[in-house]
Amino acid sequence: MPNVRAKGQRPILVIMDTEFVNEIARNLRRGGYSDRSAFIRDAVYEKLRRLGVNVAYVKALAPPRAHVIQVHSGVGHNYSLNEDPPKYRAAKNRKKRSK
């Protein structure tokens, strides 16, 4: 299910200067990141640690995007992303725009 948060998650809105956001975007790969959210979560985690706050790193990780689906054969697990495939999303967005 797209746009559904796991239990215990809260979004945080952070307003930043456009050039600052662009600077983050330009340096994501250099820092080993693929998205701004991961970069910002790590930056907040690092700052808390520097302040002496003992917080588990697992709290700074992105929530899992896959969930386990019961396999009817009873052997192993089957994993599915917690979102629609890109083609489906694109088609759904085109339908919304055409209304």
DSSP states of 28-97 as a string? TGGGT-SSHHHHHHHHHHHHHHHTT----GGGGSPPPSEEEE--TTSSS-EEEESS--HHHHHHHHHHHH
pLDDT score recorded for residue 42: 92
pLDDT at 95: 57
Q: Could you read off the pLDDT tens digit of each residue along the chain, which spans 99 residues? A: 456 666 777 888 999 999 999 999 999 999 899 899 989 999 999 999 999 999 988 888 877 654 444 445 555 555 444 444 445 445 555 555 555
Q: pTM here?
A: 0.58
What are the residue boundaries of the structural domains of the chain, listed by start? Answer: 18-98
- What pLDDT is attached to residue 16? 96
